[in-house]
Amino acid sequence: MMNRYLYALLCLLSCVGFPSLSAQSNVIDEVVWVVGDEAILKSDVESERADAQSEGRKIDGDPYCVIPEQLAIEKLFLHQAQLDSVEVTDQEVMQYLEYQMSYLVENIGTKEKLEEYFNKSYTEIREMLREKIRNKQIVDKMQKQLVGDIKVVPAEVRRYFKDLPADSIPFVPTQVEVQIITMEPTIPQEEIDRVKQTLRDYTERVNKGEIAFSTLARMYSEDVASARKGGEIGFNGKGELAAEYANVAFNLQDPSKISKIVETEFGFHIIQLIEKRGDRINTRHILMRPRVDDSALQTALAKLDSIGKQVRSGELVFDDAASYMSQDKDTRNNHGLMVNAATGTSHFEMQDLARVSLEVTKAIEPMNVGEVSQAFTMTNSKGKEICAIVKLKSRINGHKATITEDYQRLKNIVVQHRSEEKLRKWIVEKQKHTYVRINENWNKCEFKHPGWMIVSPKE
């Protein structure tokens, strides 16, 4: 079954002809609104409707009223962005575009199948999606510019909170802070040599013309995501790749040549150049990781259990042990404190922590604040099997928000409320000076912003 995100992305590009209301005509495509000198087509509306359906997003009202108005508002922001010279860089667009194109190819199967699906060339599909991505990014940037000067002082937050009805006070889910110490099991040199020799054998087979690099990648690469695409990882800038990988990849000149073996924190790679485009590069690779044997795991677990025992007895402070003994470079300089990349803070809601590590979440769930877990195995963000112990530094149980404990959260709500109000007033003002013509079959609506003019404004 096609997943929702893929379906939404396909619809973003091409979904038309969904069943319409009885009031609509059976014409496959038609102009339904004109905003200024920009047209909104029926196919635009159907595409957005299909997008919302596939993502499970509820449209509050008749979609044939709500969606055209949303598209009209988008055109207002795009026009203002043009007047204010608000732009997005090609790099910003390309970075997201490459991600989207890679996602499509990965899920549909091959570039050829993607071209067959749309009956367009790969280049034409890229251009279709590129413009949609650019417009969305411009609108986002324009909105941020319009509300960027909003400042909220503590008194406003307190007043907002005081005036909220009791049943409207937001509920804050349980949040935790977690410290971690990790240890990588020792890999015997014999196992490292085995991996390297295997990669040398692959290189030799490709060089002899016995087999394509992409075929070997599909069969043997341990980077599951890229293996499905013959090892292709898509276009990346130098800073988006592991430093060791980038240094070798950006020095490749001949797509028929295979790189030397490269070691990164993910494992060992061999790399093949596909294409260079400005300061970005597309490569394919085969990744192999040395296997961890059970005895090495047991040794690492025993060492961590010994550290945990010393912390519990008071012989050792967890913060110090994390700083000097942990092999997790992302946390050891912060006394082992894990950071939530989504919020930039050390607080995790349980569902957010589970996305980072299900093993850590299971370990801390039954713990009391200050307790240290038994050692356990887990897979880190680099795909390696490692051992760890964790300490529950703090827990704030789920509760209705309060000023003392949740000021920042409430402040963000006030900022969002004021931003929405400012954007609403901006839209109302723009409506007074914008020509709008609505198809007679599409104008029997109660719009969220009722001030749409249907004739050209007087000078």
Dump pLDDT digits (tens) for 69-78.
999 999 999 9
First-to-final CA distance of the chain: 55
Mean predicted confidence (pLDDT) in 272-289: 92
pLDDT at site 13: 54
* pLDDT tens-digit readout, 192-239: 999 999 999 999 999 999 999 999 999 999 998 889 889 998 888 888
Residue 421's Cα: distance from chain center in Å? 28
Distance, in Å, from the CA atom of 348 to the CA atom of 340, rounded to the nearest integer, reads 6
Give me the pLDDT at residue 299, please: 95
pTM of the predicted model as reported, rounded to 2 decimal places: 0.64
Residue 153 has pLDDT above 80, yes or no: yes
Asked if pLDDT for residue 370 goes beyond 80, the answer is: yes
Q: What's the CA gap between 67 and 35, in Å, rounded?
A: 14
pLDDT band at 439 (very low <50, low <70, confident <90, very high): confident
Handedness of CA 243, 244, 247, 248 (dihedral sign): negative
Residues 401, 406, 410, 412, CA torsion sign: negative
Predicted local confidence at residue 344, as pLDDT: 84
Domains belonging to the chain, first-starting first, are: 4-150+418-442 (1.10.4030.10), 175-186+293-400 (3.10.50.40), 189-288 (3.10.50.40)
Amino acid 343: pLDDT: 82
CA distance 11 to 382: 33
- Average pLDDT value over all residues in the chain: 87
Which has the closest alpha carbon to 273: 294, 293, 245, 296? 245
Kindly state the average pLDDT of the residues 161-171.
87
Render pLDDT for 315-332 as a digit per residue (tens, 0 to 9): 999 999 999 999 998 899
Q: Quote the pLDDT of residue 15.
A: 45
- pLDDT tops 50 at residue 459: no
State how far the Cα of 51 lies from the Cα of 315, in Å rounded to an integer: 58
